[in-house]
Amino acid sequence: MKRWNGWGNVAMDYPVPPTAEAYLVDFLGRLDPRPDATFESVIESVPSSRLPAHPLVDVSAGTRLTHARGQSTPDWVALRSGRIPVFPDGVAFPRSEEQVRELLEFAKRIGVKVIPYGGGSSVVGHINPLVSDAPVLTLSLEKMTRLLALDEIGQTAVFEAGVTGPELEHSLASHGYTLGHFPQSHEYSTLGGWIATRSSGQQSYYYGRIEPLFAGGHMETPRGPIELPHFPASAAGPDVKEMVLGSEGRMGVISSARVRISHTPDAQDFYGVFFPSWEQGVEAVRQIAQERVPVSLLRLSSPQETETTLILSGKPWIGLAERGLRMIGFGNTRCLLIFGATGTAAHVRRTRAMAAAICRRQSGLFVGTVVGHTWEKSRFYSPYLRNTLWARGVVVDTLETALPWSQVLEASRTIPASIATAMDGLDEKVLAFAHLSHVYRDGASVYTTFLFRRPADPDELLVRWQAMKQTASRKIQDLGGTITHQHGVGIDHAPYLPAEKGPLGMDAIRAVCSSFDPDGMMNPGKLF
Ligand SMILES: Cc1cc2nc3c(=O)[nH]c(=O)nc-3n(C[C@H](O)[C@H](O)[C@H](O)COP(=O)(O)OP(=O)(O)OC[C@H]3O[C@@H](n4cnc5c(N)ncnc54)[C@H](O)[C@@H]3O)c2cc1C
């Protein structure tokens, strides 16, 4: 069962290793964990629904509560303090495209706002109902998970859009295929959500982000259905498919999508390389990208992130490895690269050799597969640590951008630093660090994680979070980075979008959305 006020399955836990807790107390100061509101108490605050009865709509308080918020820090504060200002008036669970259409017609007829809902894993407020005079209907695709067609000759598959990562991969694996789209939220996020937010997977370097994987589909809009036909390529003017990517539920409900698939790889492995300095690590990954070495994953952690993640992993061999690294001159500035190779056995061997050779040119120490396998085992598990850290009194959040290579070094230093300075006035410490999560020929994604003490008062927590988020977002824009490389816009990034798109660009986005949704009934307040 999914957690109602945190990440993941209730049956899974990631205990904070005692060494990690000591490290955090040392850095942040004494922790002051407080209990959260209980499900039973929060459910009492769900008001009565404003929706008339409909056979596909569940208006029970429990269902409305579990679909009220996503996974951002403000969402967690609301859920865990029990102060949720707005709930959806009902949640619909259609089982077909026709039922999606019926629900949109129902909503249109009686003036209801509609929020398409995939896995609810948004970290920027995408699925939150906002205060509105009109009732709000959350439309969950949870029951639409079927594989509708498989074209083995063309290597494409059509799925209903509510399919989650594991369900989709399971269906394809039985035919010998994979989509290869593995965001860290894979366990719960859905195909429709990936398309609507332009998501990026951990192995996007090899398989591609969701944009090139999305080959067509079907969307139900307030003005009726639209088919997004599949062509290998097309020069027939602007591509409507491109407009649907990143539409964040503002144009309609993506009910099914055709995706480009690959054969399940024969071989795959993940390797670790330590560099004496961040600069050398960054230079190595830039060269790997620009020399077009066909790795499947590149993830380079800054020295601070390297230290923190090794400690948080709680692995018994870490202390020994640390001492060994220091003895051979890899001191406090060392940083860790994980790279992956995927394909045939020969391709994996060749790729590993090419990447390792470039790393050696930058004094990288290739350490084989131990660290890579540790990463692989926890690739979808590490978000569970956010639950246990919260319970110990520590808030964890992340933010991300992508910038040209000329800005990457500065961004990886100054974005985390800006977050820490936002708390200077309060004399509160913030543990902030970055990694390069995705690397391109012309730049990289700088992904920042920050940890801070949870104050007892939820309002105070929100004020602190807002100060950090705002400072970092302004810093990102000053550096010329995008406000988001993969998380999307939602509510939290909407104020920064006009600077990125320009007034004419914003007009065009609004105009496209309103051509599908003239009355503004789809997910109002998100994106713009
Ligand atoms: C622990 C964790 C790790 C994450 N890691 C990554 C990562 O590695 N890469 C990454 O890109 N993101 C990541 N995210 C962010 C999030 O998982 C993605 O944005 C994901 O694509 C959202 O998918 P979802 O199905 O959960 O969508 P939801 O959160 O349900 O919805 C997101 C938006 O998409 C719209 N939407 C959803 N389904 C449809 C549909 N069928 N039709 C129309 N609109 C729809 C919603 O209206 C909303 O605006 C992470 C989040 C968490 C909590």
For ligand 1, is residue 81 a contact (CB within 6 Å)? Answer: no
Cβ contacts of residue 134 below 8 Å, gap of 6+? 111, 112, 113
**8 A C-beta contact, residue 178 and residue 271:** no
Residue with CA at minimum distance from ligand 1 atom 49: 248
Tokens of 19: 């060494």
β-pairing, 267-275 vs 365-366, is: antiparallel
Contact 360, 413 (CB under 8 A): no
Query: Ligand 1: distance of its center to the CA of 71 in Å?
Result: 10
- Ligand 1: distance of its center to the CA of 124 in Å? 9
Does 383 contact ligand 1 (Cβ within 6 A)?
yes
Q: Pick from 185, 375, 385, 521 the residue to mutate for probing ligand 1's pocket: most ligand atoms within 8 Å of its CB.
A: 185
The residue whose CA is least distant from atom 37 of ligand 1 is 193
- With CA atoms as reference, report the closest residue to 528 among 473, 505, 134, 477: 505
The SS3 call for residue 392 is helix
CA distances to 180, 211, 238, 410 from 154, rounded to whole Å, are 17, 18, 24, 44
127 lines ligand 1 (CB under 6 A): yes
**What are the residues whose beta carbons fall under 8 Å from the beta carbon of 205, sequence distance 6 or more?**
295, 296, 297, 298, 438, 439
CA-angle at 272, arms to 301 and 173, nearest 5°? 100
Which amino acid, one-letter code, is at 24?
A: L
Evaluate the CA torsion angle 206, 210, 212, 217 in order and state its sign: positive
| Residue 493 Cβ contacting ligand 1 at under 6 Å | no
Rounded distance between C-alpha atoms, residue 165 and residue 169, angstroms: 6
**262 to 165, 180, 511: CA distances (angstroms):** 15, 8, 36
Buried b (16+ CB within 10 A) or exposed e, 450-485: bbbbbbeebeebbebbebbbebbbebbeebebbbbb
Pairing of strands 177-178, 262-263: antiparallel
Give residue 118 CA to ligand 1 midpoint distance, Å.
Answer: 7
Please work out whether the CB of residue 123 comes within 6 Å of at least one atom of ligand 1. yes
Structure tokens at 243: 């407009």
**pTM metric for this prediction:** 0.97
Please give the chain's pLDDT, 528 residues, in tens: 999 999 999 999 999 988 889 999 999 999 989 999 999 999 999 999 999 999 999 999 999 999 999 999 999 999 999 999 999 999 999 999 999 999 999 999 999 999 999 999 999 999 999 999 999 999 999 999 999 999 999 999 999 999 999 999 999 999 999 999 999 999 999 999 999 999 999 999 999 999 999 999 999 999 999 999 999 999 999 999 999 999 999 999 999 999 999 999 999 999 999 999 999 999 999 999 999 999 999 999 999 999 998 888 777 777 777 788 888 888 889 999 999 999 999 999 999 999 999 999 999 999 999 999 999 999 999 999 999 999 999 999 999 999 999 999 999 999 999 999 999 888 899 999 999 999 999 999 999 999 999 999 999 999 999 999 999 999 999 999 999 999 999 999 999 999 999 999 999 999 999 999 999 999 999 999
Which residue puts its alpha carbon closest to atom 5 of ligand 1?
A: 184
Binding site membership of 248 for ligand 1 (Cβ less than 6 Å): yes
Q: Which atom of ligand 1 is nearest to the CA of 191?
A: 25
Strand ordering across the sheet containing 394-404: 365-366, 267-275, 335-343, 297-301, 430-439, 443-453, 394-404
Residue 9 β-bridge partners: 2
Are the C-beta atoms of residues 286 and 406 closer than 8 Å to each other? Answer: no
